[in-house]
Amino acid sequence: MPELPEVETVCRGIAPILEGATLIKVTPRRAGLRVPFPPDLSLTLTGKRVKTVWRRAKYALIEMETGSILILHLGMSGRVRIDGPGTSWPELQKHDHFVMETDSSARLVLNDARRFGMVLLTSRDSMDSHPALASLGPEPLGNGFDALTLAAALKGRKSSLKAALLDQSVVAGLGNIYVCEALYLARLSPTRPAGSLDPDETERLVRSVRHVLVKAIEAGGSSLRDHAQVTGELGYFQHSFCVYGREGEPCLQEACKSTIKRIVQAGRSSFYCSHCQH
DNA sequence: CGGCCAACCTGTGCGC
DNA sequence: TGCGCACAGGTTGGCC
């Protein structure tokens, strides 16, 4: 589930619960996920009040009034659940690896079957130099992402356009699904050398990236499979994919009689229409 | 530094 | 019903 739109959806869902609340209990339920949990995690957060929740790339950031910032990354299979506010919470489940309880009888639960996620700690003052955040490229929905900056980031790159857009230092927050979707919308082949775009193509790509992300956020994130969002509702953007997961199905372009192809690039599946995308 | 691959994990769906 | 295999939304460390 967790590319930029899904993380954005999670942040919007947990912000009303967490902001202004005090964390009364913080419980790591195993040693860590991809990396060990910070040793001072509970000590740093317990008894502190949450100031704000926001997102950077695919990271959810929870800033405390003390200036400490909890960084959550959902990896491939991470999900965030809010239990309560209420008098009773459901039983913790398999793969519920990290839990934070608030003084308003709500509980945030991080569930991550594959444990590719990350729980990290930084602070207001040092977040810019934190290894996870330091080398991230511009936010695709922010002012720092335009045709000129993208052209500069792609210039001289020999790798494919697909690989370049998955590189979080080029643009931050895209993953396999939305790269496929944006390239389809921009009519650009995932196999194009990243440095070969002309200004018109670059502009089309910028617009397409923004468009697919905005639409996905509006739909509440794609939330593949049976993932229930923190709001308890399922996202519906997954039903709106044009190419992702559609190998062998007809291209949706009105006049196109071709079918969607799947190739493997950098170990990831790329779905595209070889007739429409060049 | 750029580019590529393996590794990190569990779950699911498919063919046999 | 069971087994084995391919594949899955991401990142990173090591190697050339």
Contact A176, A268 (CB under 8 A): yes
What is the rounded average pLDDT of the residues A93-117?
96
- Within A 37-76, residues with CB less than 7 Å from strand B: none
| Residue A268 annotated as catalytic | yes
Catalytic residue among A2, A138, A140, A190: A2
Question: Does residue A21 carry a pLDDT above 80?
Answer: yes
Kindly report, residue by residue over A91-103, the tens digit of the pLDDT: 999 999 999 999 9
With CA atoms as reference, report the closest residue to A149 among A169, A177, A173. A169
Minimum-distance residue to B3 (CA–C1'): A159
Distance CA A99, CA A155 (A): 44
Per-residue pLDDT, A239? 66
Question: Does residue A208 carry a pLDDT above 80?
Answer: yes
Q: Average pLDDT over chain A, rounded to whole?
A: 92
Per-residue pLDDT, A104? 95
Question: Does residue A79 carry a pLDDT above 50?
Answer: yes
With CA atoms as reference, report the closest residue to A246 among A257, A232, A260. A260
DSSP β-bridge partners for residue A110: A80, A98
Catalytic residue among A55, A56, A58, A81: A58
Distance CA A117, CA A100 (A): 16
| Residue A155 annotated as catalytic | no
Distance CA A122, CA A220 (A): 28
Distance A245 CA to C6 C1' (A): 15
Neighbours of A150 (CB within 10 A): 24
Distance A199 CA to B9 C1' (A): 42
Per-residue pLDDT, A238? 63
Catalytic residue among A3, A6, A8, A201: A3
Instruction: Name the burial class of residue A277, with classes exposed (0-12), middle (13-18) and buried (19+) by CB atoms within 10 angstroms of its CB.
Output: buried
Question: Does residue A55 carry a pLDDT above 50?
Answer: yes
| Residue A2 annotated as catalytic | yes
Per-residue pLDDT, A103? 97
pLDDT band with cut points at 50, 70 and 90 for residue A87:
confident
Per-residue pLDDT, A69? 98
Kindly report, residue by residue over A230-271, the tens digit of the pLDDT: 644 445 566 679 999 999 999 999 999 999 999 999 889 999
Predicted model pTM: 0.94
| Residue A215 annotated as catalytic | no
Q: Which residues are within 8 A (CB) of A22 and not within 5 positions of it... i.e. 6 or more apart?
A: A47, A48, A49, A50, A102, A103
Distance A103 CA to B9 C1' (A): 34
When mean pLDDT is compared across A41-55, A58-72, A78-92, the lowest value belongs to A78-92
Distance A191 CA to C2 C1' (A): 40
pLDDT band with cut points at 50, 70 and 90 for residue A110:
very high
Minimum-distance residue to C12 (CA–C1'): A34
DSSP β-bridge partners for residue A52: A63
Contact A14, A82 (CB under 8 A): yes
Distance A113 CA to C7 C1' (A): 16
- Interface residues for strand C (CB within 7 Å) are A 1-3, 6, 34, 57-58, 73, 75-77, 114, 116, 131-132, 166, 168, 174-177, 222-225, 227, 267-269
Residue type, A230: V
What is the rounded average pLDDT of the residues A161-180?
97
Q: Report all structural domains of chain A as residue ranges with CATH numbers, in order of start.
A: 4-134 (3.20.190.10), 147-272 (1.10.8.50)
Share of chain A above pLDDT 90, in %: 89
